[in-house]
Amino acid sequence: MLSLLRLIVFPLLLLLPYVVFSHFIVENLPGFQGKLPFKLETGYVGVGEEEKVQLYYYFVESERDPENDPLMLWLTGGPGCSGLSSFVYEIGPLMFDYANSSGDFPKLELNSNSWTKVANIIFIDQPAGSGYSYAKTSEAYNCNDTQAVTLTYEFLRKWLMDHPKYLKNPQYVGGDSYSGIFVALLTRRIYDGIEVGEKPRVNIKGYIQGNALTDHYIDANGRVIYAHRMGLISDKLYQSTKANCNGNYVNVDPNNESCLNDLQRVDKCLKNIRRAHILEPWCDLPFLMSILQVTPTNVRSLFPIEGPWCREKNYIYSYIWANDKAVRKALNVREGTALEWVRCNDSMHYRGKERTESYVYDVQSVIDDHRHLISKSCRALIYSGDHDMVVPHSSTEEWIDSLKLPIADDWEPWFVDGQVAGYKVKYSQNDYELTYATVKGGGHTAPEYKPEQCLAMVDRWFSGYPL
């Protein structure tokens, strides 16, 4: 069978220029005791003009049935956040062992709720400048949403040509946070490629989005609405702000003093609320955040981490681990590239502006791309942590409602171990199906906060069962 696949794929290699594959099997990692009990492959795929962009990836084979389980390309948000962040903090097979990480180096342990229990997953560092991915010229680091998706599509096609045994697996695109932009665009690009006969044919079945940015205006505007619904601002302040701002809290007339004054009062109420999860402690640690964003190698001086807990302290472990020379060698990171690993590259990370020095946010909404996919044979899972104020679930529900899809199964709770894990609603039109689920107690993003519930959710959805 493998020989036959090679005969099929070899001509396809001629369709994409400069195809040079570089990947390695990783059997041991610093911080983890013993041999890895799962198959981990890391490598680079060159994309773009003369393959000046080198995209790094981690591929983890499904621990259940890799020959038949879904294959999912996972895009971490940002933009500019490393796939390693999703790997160790959200849905991957390893996590940091905080309780036993003494001394100056973090320990790793297995994640019993890894999505690789039920799927093959490619975690990618994209665009160039994210994680261990890099560009061969300074100009090649410049990017935008549209170009990032084009290069990621090229990555996927080349990766599949180098891994022909996965061509037949049901394939999905997944991602969270800012990658809501990428996931919708890439999924549409894949379906459009199938229609014009592009090879290799991606066996796409659908897409998954979590706490996902979809429309810059709707998602940002919804934070005031969400804050009111969660009791963070009073009815009186909300009604005043709504009236004075005409329901528009983003594109405010600079001469509308009543609106501006109300928004200042709203900001004062929300100032010390952790937006990624409104119930968790807010980190008043500017010195810590500046170190994380600017000089990651200095993070060792903060380890072990003292003082009151806040989630941002967990992220320090990844900076220490990923910048260690032995780790980089074990992961086969090319020497002289990606000199300092950062969890999220601040030169690209979205902060509400139109662009940064190296990145242009040229796509403001992908609602039309979701609408385009309604005409395809396609499944979608959209989930939201209900305590996330970065991309509020109420905003996600607003754009889903705008699709005007018929409801197949109306709003009702879903359960894990007999307990309500969230609420769900299913839409269906012809061969398109969209399941929307809230994750009770989840933040930005949900699997980091509710791993057991999210694994149950995605396992049921992949299998075609009701949540």
DSSP 8-state assignment for residue 117: G
- Check: CB of residue 65 under 8 Å from CB of residue 366: no
Q: Which CATH number fits domain 22-215+363-463: 3.20.170.30, 3.90.1150.10, 3.40.50.2300, 3.40.50.1820?
A: 3.40.50.1820
Which residues are known catalytic residues? 177, 388, 444
**Domain map of the chain by residue range?**
22-215+363-463
Which DSSP letter does residue 355 get?
B
Distances (CA, A) of 50 to 43, 53, 135, 137, 399: 18, 8, 11, 11, 39
* Predicted pLDDT at 304: 61
CA-to-CA separations, 53 to 46, 75, 138, 337, in angstroms, rounded: 6, 17, 10, 12
- The pLDDT averaged over each successive group of 10 residues in the chain (467 residues) is 43 49 92 98 97 98 98 96 98 95 86 99 98 96 96 98 98 98 98 96 98 98 98 98 98 97 98 95 66 54 67 88 96 92 87 79 97 98 98 98 98 98 98 99 97 99 96
What pLDDT is stored for residue 22 in this prediction?
A: 78
Summarised one tens digit per residue, pLDDT across range 164-218 is 999 999 999 999 999 999 999 999 999 999 999 999 999 999 999 999 999 999 9
CA distance 209 to 180: 6
pLDDT in the model for residue 4: 42
Structure-token match 């229609």, residue found? 195
Give CA–CA dist 25/36, Å, rounded. 11
User: Can you give the three-state secondary structure of 256-293, one letter per residue?
Assistant: CHHHHHHHHHHHHHHCCCCCCCCCCCCCCCHHHHHHHH
* Residue 44 near residue 56, CB atoms below 8 Å: yes
* Whole-number CA gyration radius for the chain: 22
pLDDT digits (tens, 9 = 90+) for 66-93: 999 999 999 999 899 999 999 999 999 9
Q: What region does 267 belong to: left with phi over 0, alpha with psi -120 to 50, or beta?
A: alpha
The pLDDT, as a whole number, for residue 1 is 44
DSSP secondary structure, 212-264, as one string: ---BHHHHHHHHHHHHHHTTSS-HHHHHHHHHHHTT-SSS--TT-HHHHHHHH
Torsion 251-254-255-256 (CA) sign: positive
- The dihedral of CA 252, 255, 256, 258: what is its sign? positive
Residue 433's SS3 state is strand
CA distances from 182 to 112, 173, 296 (A): 28, 9, 27
Identity of the residue numbered 316: I
Q: How far apart are CA 218 and CA 396, in angstroms?
A: 8
pTM of the predicted protein model: 0.93
Please report the pLDDT score of residue 2 as a whole number. 41
